[in-house]
Amino acid sequence: MEPHRRIGELLKAFHAAGVDAPSQVVGVVASMHQCQEDWQKRMRELRELGWDYETIKRKENGRIRSYYRLTAFTDWPDGNIAAEFKRRERAKNQA
């Protein structure tokens, strides 16, 4: 149900299929259970968990389209992902 997990699992599925994930599809999947106006931020936050991806831009039918290619991923943290980000932020601020 978490947007980070939905986005990450989608990127893994496209990666396994050997194709790049269209940004339109990522945006729809990110917002499936709750609106995610800033789903790109959720993607950037994945990098804090050790995930990485490339952004590819292609001109198609006179428009620039964005795609994402997963280059590295890790196991999901135990428990709630948003809580893990908050825990890491507190630890960083205490250091």
Q: Which CATH class is domain 3-94?
A: mainly alpha
pLDDT at 94: 87
Amino acid present at 94: Q
Question: Using 50, 70 and 90 to split pLDDT, how confident is the model at 85?
Answer: confident
Average pLDDT over residues 28-51: 88
pLDDT at 1: 82
Average pLDDT over residues 65-89: 93
- Residue extents of the structural domains in the chain: 3-94
Average pLDDT over residues 25-54: 90
Global confidence as pTM = 0.87
Average pLDDT over residues 24-35: 88
